[in-house]
Amino acid sequence: MSQSHSIYDFSVNNSVGENKDLEDYRGKVLLIVNTASKCGFTPQYTGLQALHDKYHTQGLVIIAMPCNQFGAQEPGSDETIQDFCQLNYGLSFPVMAKVDVNGSQQHPLYRYLTKEAGGLITDSIKWNFTKFLVDREGNVTERFAPMTKPKSIKKHIENLL
């Protein structure tokens, strides 16, 4: 496989298994977050939805990437995850199909994200709700830890919009 040089070289599956090219988001500011329904950080969905509500018309796209690699906190099917997100948080931003963000089955998007914006000690994803901010040109500009609340990254998003 050739080396990917841009976020736009990747695709992910949406919640019904259809391929979604990230190229479709060219020119947008992206916030890519690995999520889980049964995590202590799950209430961050409220803050993510607030960011979406405030900035989506200016070009922000939040992409949730459910993952079951941390404490088995996302055990459900893609359909169950969608139902949970709608029922409990009324999410109106895309929640994609479940992926692995670490390990031998790591999604290629996460291989790229962790290479572009390494973490403390190791580059691997440490827990649910790690956030990657991508500018309108497709550059990964920042990585935020799971405990970083969505509202505290507003100024970073505003700088890119």
Q: How far apart are CA 148 and CA 81, in angstroms?
A: 23
Question: Looking at domain 30-160, which CATH architecture does it have?
Answer: 3-Layer(aba) Sandwich (3.40)
Q: Supply the residues annotated as catalytic.
A: 39
What burial class does residue 63 get, using C-beta atoms within 10 Å of its C-beta: 0-12 exposed, 13-18 middle, 19+ buried? buried
**57-107 confidence digits (pLDDT tens):** 999 999 999 999 999 999 999 999 999 999 999 999 999 999 999 999 999
Express each pLDDT in 19-63 by its tens digit. Answer: 999 999 999 999 999 999 999 999 999 999 999 999 999 999 999
**pTM, full prediction:** 0.95
Whether 75 and 38 have beta carbons less than 8 Å apart is answered as yes
Rounded CA separation 39/36 (Å):
6
